[in-house]
Amino acid sequence: MQMITVLGATGSIGVSTLDVIARHQDKYAIFALTAHTQIDKLAEQCLQFNPKFAVVGDAALAEQLQAMLRAGGSTTEAIYGVDALCKVSNDAAVDTVMAAIVGAAGLVPTLAAVHAGKKILLANKEALVMAGGLFMQAVADSGSLLLPIDSEHNAIFQCLPAGCGSSASASSNSGVEKLLLSASGGPFRGMTLEQMHGVTPDQACAHPNWSMGRKISVDSASLMNKGLELIEACWLFAVPEQSIEVVVHPQSIIHSLVQYSDGSVLAQLGNPDMRTPIAHALAWPQRIESGVANLNLFEIARLDFEKPDMQAFPCLAIARAAAQAGANAATILNAANEIAVQAFLDERIGFTQIADVVEQTLNSQVISEPESLEAVQESDNQARLYSSAYIKRLEK
Ligand code: NAD
Ligand code: MG
């Protein structure tokens, strides 16, 4: 029996994870489920999966949740705060942690799981983008097993030779020449920057192929998601940014590819449903049923590919430049993007101003190598302050 903590259980990835786990209750049991504020949904999940702990954002929510759980006859204990998130991530009883909190808030609890040597299923790409060097060093030091959930990275992991996956270099003697990162192009593919000026949050969140949380949906629409994923891939597979090419593939059937020196290109295909990478990582190196329908190639009939439009989607170039700059550039990029995306979702700035906020913030900050978690958090904090102030100026 694998004991699992799901960080971010009420989110899109969390719900898909529990869907897969529910199909295999002989193999997996839940130690803890966490949510920030959605206690109704969390209570429902607790009644179904009977975890030891349920974690929420603050004391008042924990009290409300505890009352709901008691009324439902559940013995789950409701606790709250960052320390509680760390406790359910590094508890000796836990084997595996699904890191599916969105944004920088996921970093500290995910690192707690890494330091404790857990098997980490990493969906929370922002944690790796913001603190890649420290994160990967902690993985190496603790011997924790890091498996990618992001569909593209999970696909690359599946296409790399055995032993070349996460936390091992893909370049040494394996013949790997290039990683080809798939991108759907998002809801605004084919539009010019001009045409994107007036788009609304709901339009940005209406992804053609994937159903996801609102933050990652906006990132997918701006292609910042692909930029974050480029940085994520550099860390996961120990390759330089130049070895990764973004391929726009609107059907989202090929989830990414690996190109080898002998002319071979290996790809992983599947319907666009996150339960496939989740099931893959949960059971790795075995395979389990995920609930995802078989791929019907005759129905799909054709697969298309194009280069990303770098004029219309400046976020991708900004992220690539941050990957090149290294040090704390990705920390700043991620923080400014989180602030800008929230401001766009709150209708305080326009969609095309997201890139502007991120670029201005990067230009305003000192680029230096963060030697500690505190230094990462300080860079993150400074970038948030700057971008928030910049957005206030834009609003005037
Ligand atoms: P979501 O918004 O649907 O869910 C986010 C979860 O995080 C919720 O459970 C929420 O309660 C929790 N959370 C939010 N803020 C928090 C905070 N401050 N403290 C503690 N918990 C907090 O997001 P999602 O779409 O499930 O994405 C989760 C992560 O997975 C993101 O990093 C995203 O980039 C990544 N990811 C998602 C998908 C997808 O298909 N949804 C695909 C690839 C990667
Ligand atoms: Mg992805």
**Does any ligand 1 atom lie closer than 6 A to the CB of residue 100?**
yes
Interacting residues of 151 by C-beta distance below 8 A, sequence separation 6+: 255, 256, 272, 274, 276, 277
How far is Cα 75 from Cα 60, in angstroms, rounded to an integer? 19
The band of 383, judged by pLDDT with boundaries at 50, 70 and 90, is very high
pLDDT band at 163 (very low <50, low <70, confident <90, very high): confident
Do 113 and 180 lie in one domain? The reply is no
Mean per-residue pLDDT of the chain? 96
pTM of the model: 0.97
**Do both 196 and 164 map to the same domain?**
yes
Is 287 part of any domain?
no
275 lines ligand 1 (CB under 6 A): no
Q: Is residue 275 part of a domain?
A: no
Which tens digits make up the pLDDT trace of 220-256? 999 999 999 999 999 999 999 999 999 999 999 999 9
Residue 274 lies in a domain: no
Q: 194 CA to middle of ligand 1, Å?
A: 30
What spacing in Å lies between the alpha carbon of 60 and ligand 2's midpoint? 34
The string of pLDDT tens digits covering residues 108-155 is 999 999 999 999 999 999 999 999 999 999 999 999 999 999 999 999
Q: How far apart are CA 345 and CA 351, in angstroms?
A: 9
**Are both 135 and 250 inside the same structural domain?**
no
Specify the ligand 1 atom closest to the Cα of 35. 11
pLDDT over 60 at 167, yes or no: no
12 lines ligand 1 (CB under 6 A): yes
CA-closest residue to ligand 1 atom 40: 212
Q: How far apart are the first and last CA of the chain?
A: 57
Whether residue 227 is found in the same domain as residue 259: yes
Question: Same domain for 137 and 97?
Answer: yes
In a domain, 288, yes or no: no
Structural domain count, the chain: 3
Q: Do both 62 and 13 map to the same domain?
A: yes
In a domain, residue 303? The reply is yes
Q: Are residues 225 and 330 in the same domain?
A: no
Which among 55, 121, 129 is positioned nearest to 87, based on CA atoms?
55
Identity of the amino acid at 93? A
**Mean pLDDT in residue range 161-185:** 79
Residue 262 main-chain phi, psi, to 5 deg:
-90, 5
Query: Could you tell me the pLDDT band of residue 165, with boundaries at 50, 70 and 90?
Result: low
**Residue 169 reports pLDDT greater than 70:** no
Task: Report the nearest atom of ligand 1 relative to the CA of 36.
Answer: 11
Most informative mutation of 12, 102, 337 for ligand 1 (most atoms within 8 A of CB): 102
> Which residues, in sequence order, are bridge partners of residue 258?
179, 266
Q: Whose CA is nearest to atom 16 of ligand 1?
A: 36
Among candidates 63, 87, 66, 88, which has minimal Cα distance to 76? 66
Reduced to 3 states (helix: H, G, I; strand: E, B; else coil), residue 189 is coil
Select from 111, 127, 149 the last residue of a domain. 149
Judge if 142 and 169 occupy the same domain: no
- 69 Cα to the center of ligand 1, angstroms: 23
Classify each residue of 204-223 as buried b or exposed e, where b means 16 or more C-beta atoms within 10 Å of its C-beta.
bbebebbebbbbbbbbbbbb
Domain that holds residue 256: 150-269+298-318
Measured by CA distance, the residue closest to atom 9 of ligand 1 is 8
Q: Is 213 in the pocket of ligand 1 (CB under 6 A)?
A: yes
Which residue among 149, 184, 216 closes a domain? 149
In this structure, what CATH number is given to the domain that contains residue 39?
3.40.50.720
CB of 105 within 6 A of ligand 1: the answer is: yes
**Co-location of 136 and 12 in the same domain:** yes
| Sign of the dihedral through C-alpha 140, 144, 150, 156 | positive
From the alpha carbon of 215, which atom of ligand 1 is closest? 2
Query: Last residue of some domain: 122, 149, 176?
Result: 149
User: Looking at the domain assignment, is residue 289 inside a domain?
Assistant: no
SS (H, E, C) 281-331: HHHCCCCCCCCCCCCCHHHHCCCCCECCCCCCCHHHHHHHHHHHHCCCHHH
Q: Is residue 281 part of a domain?
A: no
Q: Nearest bound ligand to CA 122?
A: 1
Find out whether the beta carbon of 10 lies less than 6 Å from any atom of ligand 1. yes
Question: Do 9 and 141 belong to one domain?
Answer: yes
The atom of ligand 1 lying closest to the CA of 217 is 25
Are 61 and 35 contacting, i.e. CB atoms less than 8 angstroms apart?
A: no
The reply to whether ligand 1 has any atom less than 6 angstroms from the CB of 186 is no
**Residue 277 Cβ contacting ligand 1 at under 6 Å:** no
pLDDT computed for residue 143 by the predictor: 96
Say if residue 16 is in the same domain as residue 78.
yes
Percent above pLDDT 90 for the chain? 95
Residue 164: the pLDDT is: 67
Q: What percent of the chain has pLDDT over 70?
A: 98
| Per-residue confidence (pLDDT) for residue 172, from 0 to 100 | 63
H or E element: which one contains 88? helix 82-90
Q: Is the distance from the beta carbon of residue 210 to the nearest atom of ligand 1 less than 6 Å?
A: yes
The residue count of the chain comes to 396
174 within a domain of the structure (yes/no): yes
Q: What is the CATH number of the domain that holds 390?
A: 1.10.1740.10
Is the CB of 14 within 6 Å of ligand 1? yes
Co-location of 259 and 368 in the same domain: no
10 CA closest ligand 1 atom index: 9
